[in-house]
Amino acid sequence: MTESSTGTVYLVGAGPGDPGLLTLRARELLRSVDAVLPDGLVSEEVLALIDGPELIPVSKRYGSTSTTQAEIDTLVINLARDGKSVCRLKGGDPMVFGRAGEEMRALSADGISYEIVPGVSSATAAAAYAGIPLTLRGVTAGFVCVTGHRASADDSPDTDWAALAKLKQTLVILMVATRIDPIAEALLDAGLAPTTPSAIVENASLPGQRTIISPLGDIAARSRVSGIRTPAVLIVGDAVAHSRDLQWVPIRPLAGQRVLLTTPPTATAELRSLLGAAGASVVALPTIQVEPLTDQAGFASTLKERLGESSWAVFASRSGVDAVFRTLNELNLDARAFGGFQIAALGTGTARALHAHGITPDLLPEKFVSESVVDALLQQLSADDRVLVFGAVGGRTVIRDRLIEAGIAVTRLDAYRTVPAPLPTDLLEYTLERPPDWVIFTSPSAVKSLFSALDRASISLPSATHLACIGPITTTAIEARGLTVSAIAEPHTYAGLVTALVNFAASGDNQSPESEPSSVQT
């Protein structure tokens, strides 16, 4: 095998979590390589940027056991031998406790070419996002970064905490979530005063970041009560005391709230952005997926025929817009096919989807439900109008039925179908391992899919988890299961959903005894 026939391996730093902190080179590779192999600490927000390459998680995912380093090395080498370019994606910087050195040795031994793409280390990012200067003139001249994990070999010594305590420099300790008690105890035994300023930062740079600042003698107990989880960084030293005046990350209304989205991938990005801006940590679990019709050719033929007969078109969802315009493209048509139409859109999301194709709706109802669309339509339709309604297979037929009752000529065309997404038990267990504060639903089909999967797996949502819906129809689907909806969007939009969660949080009803805001100082 010649060198040119093997692929290149890129050891890439994914940064601390915020995709805005990725390097330009990392962003390029996430779109251009053949395969991306992320570690478990790579954030969901960064993974959402992967578009095109095969995604092969190589850490604890979906309830599976962790992949060993030897297995990872073998997988990467085999992919490269097959001629594939591989992005080995690591949280933070690959050269800082990312085992890049071990993988570089394995690649070199096998003659595989590789490239290192540095990333922002969580060691510096956690301090920056907590407003803690790692070095400060007159306070500390340097910092030391160590891992909180023990070495994997049983005979390897633990970190020399006594030596570190004598340095009089800022200590940055990564991967501490599971060892905060023995680490704090070791530093106190080594001579650090219980009053030494310290901070623990969870999910640094992400919307769900939490920072607890406390004397070293109390930091372990405070972290335990607050339920601090991986990834977390402990910072110890006098420089921490100055964070009180130097914090710059605002405390956002949903800080510390973990939100589970059940929406299809096409809708997840917008909701993730809105929730993230409000401070929530978002986990995506698509429970339904949008698919083309089984008889796509038949739909295309009928659509072309009806375009020449109708005067109004009603779009009930952005998925319907996407499906119709995808079919128009197959017919070598574009937005001009609706040149003689007046257009109605069910809501602002549907209207934005139409705007993307150069169409401004003529009608947008006051409330974004089918009944409101019909009420508005009946005020504008004449006896000669013919209406074309685009929906989903098995979807509500309220618009069609009420127009027929009013004597209006109407044709309903199912433009797409929604089907349950595969939700295996190990995926559900992994996702719910850390219970979400909220589960958001935007359709009755998403409700049915999730709870059917939970029932099959004999899993229940935690009682402390709140449910939120985009509108009354989805709310009814949940209440029919004997469950309570804590927040309903008003208006029935994604922005309305986020506002409903923010209002609920502001009411104080969503606070548990162990909850912590984004930044706490004592």
pLDDT at 512: 42
CB atoms within 10 A of CB 314: 28
Q: Given 3-state DSSP classes, what are the helix, strand and coil percentages for the chain, each rounded to the nearest 5?
A: 35, 20, 45
Known catalytic residue at 84: no
pLDDT at 247: 78
Catalytic residue among 18, 34, 60, 160: 60
Q: Following CA atoms 112, 116, 121, 123 in sequence, which dihedral angle do they give, to the nearest 10 degrees? A: 70
Euclidean distance between the first and final Cα of the chain, in Å?
62
For residue 234, list its beta bridge partners: 173, 200
Write 52-60 long-range contacts (CB < 8 A, 24+): 53/87, 60/430
- Tokens (6 digits) for 297: 């050719």
Catalytic residue among 18, 39, 73, 414: 39
pLDDT at 150: 66
Residue type, 201: V
pLDDT at 500: 95
pLDDT at 178: 87
- C-alpha distances in Å from residue 123, one per residue of 205, 226, 234, 451, 488: 12, 21, 9, 40, 40
Which domains are seen in the chain, by residue range? 6-120 (3.40.1010.10), 124-249 (3.30.950.10), 258-287+421-506 (3.40.50.10090), 291-419 (3.40.50.10090)
504, 465 in Cβ contact below 8 A? no
Count of CA atoms in the C-beta half-sphere (13 A) of 161: 18
Known catalytic residue at 60: yes
- C-alpha distances in Å from residue 372, one per residue of 387, 398, 413, 426, 492: 16, 10, 20, 41, 12
Mean pLDDT by 10 residues, the chain (522 residues): 74 94 96 94 88 84 64 94 96 93 95 96 94 92 88 63 91 92 93 95 88 94 89 94 81 86 86 89 91 94 91 94 95 93 92 94 89 92 93 92 94 94 89 90 95 94 93 94 95 92 83 45 48
pLDDT at 515: 41
